[in-house]
Amino acid sequence: MRKLVPVILIFFLISPLFSDEKIIPLSSYPDLNFNQYDPASLEKMLQNKELVFVDDKKGAKEQYVTAGILIDATPEQVWKVITDFESYPQFYPQTYKTEIVAQRGNFYDVKIVLKFKFSIISTKVKYTLRHWLKEKNHIMVWNILSGDMKINKGQWTLIPTPDGKKTIALYSVYADLKTMGGLVKFVLKREPKLELAMQVSTAILVARSTKERVEKLISEHKL
């Protein structure tokens, strides 16, 4: 029986990575490092505006779009909002429905339904993301598990300002929108340059929506 103990321990150590039968290696999650940016300088740059970083390194396998915004709240308060997955439809753009379908440890599988409208035509996109919550560092990363998109991974990074009263919130995403199929695929096939524009605008909208949500809840004494 003693020989079985290591096997049992290994099972419990890796069990948070399971949802049904699919495993996502930890190495495939984003690991973006913003330590090269001075928080005081970022805070100054983000006063009354957003910043967008586009990773355009030649030969890079994954090119992330990052939107940065300054939120008048602590990282702990912002964390509560970005991890409230089932409330996303209340404030995130194009988000029609969300549902936590599995949870083990710090890993949450969230089914998301987006709704897009082009002129008089509307379409829905469904997929499931696995979120890995690193609460100690106020970092949340995710990768796609299944659905109408082949690539969708990203990271929330929350950095306290030097006085600790505000949060520099950085939302990073890397997605292949051309694999979404249907109407979105048709539009991007006709206008390929729209893909980057869509990712940039979506990142900015997510950052703004998060800021508005957090500060609204604080003003209503609900956070």
**pLDDT tens, 91-112?**
998 899 999 999 999 999 999 9
Residues 6+ apart with CB under 8 A from 51: 42, 45, 67, 68, 69
Banded pLDDT at 3 (limits 50, 70, 90): very low
Helices and strands in the chain: count of H runs, count of E runs: 5, 10
What are the residues facing 159 on neighbouring strands?
Answer: 168
- Residue 72 tokens, joined: 């008048």
Q: Which residue type sits at 161?
A: T
CB 145 within 8 A of CB 24: yes
* Domains in the chain: boundaries: 32-219
- Residue 4 dihedral angles phi and psi, to the nearest 5°: -80, -20
**C-alpha triplet 134, 205, 92: angle, nearest 5°:** 65
Alpha-carbon distance 61 to 205, whole Å?
Answer: 25
Report the chain's mean pLDDT, rounded to a whole number.
86
Q: Is the pLDDT of residue 15 over 70?
A: no
Q: What is the pLDDT of residues 161-207, one digit of tens each?
A: 999 999 999 999 998 887 776 666 677 777 777 788 888 999 999 99
Closest CA to 186 of 119, 111, 136, 112: 119
| Topology at the third CATH level for domain 32-219 | Alpha-D-Glucose-1,6-Bisphosphate; Chain A, domain 4 (3.30.530)
pLDDT tens-place string over residues 62-84: 789 999 999 999 999 999 999 99
Rounded to two decimals, the pTM is: 0.85
Closest by CA position to 66, among listed 81, 78, 56, 77: 56
How far is Cα 24 from Cα 17, in angstroms, rounded to an integer?
7
Residues 6 or more apart whose CB falls under 8 angstroms from that of 216 comprise none
Name the burial class of residue 102, with classes exposed (0-12), middle (13-18) and buried (19+) by CB atoms within 10 angstroms of its CB: middle
CB 143 within 8 A of CB 130: yes
- What is the structure's pLDDT at 186? 73
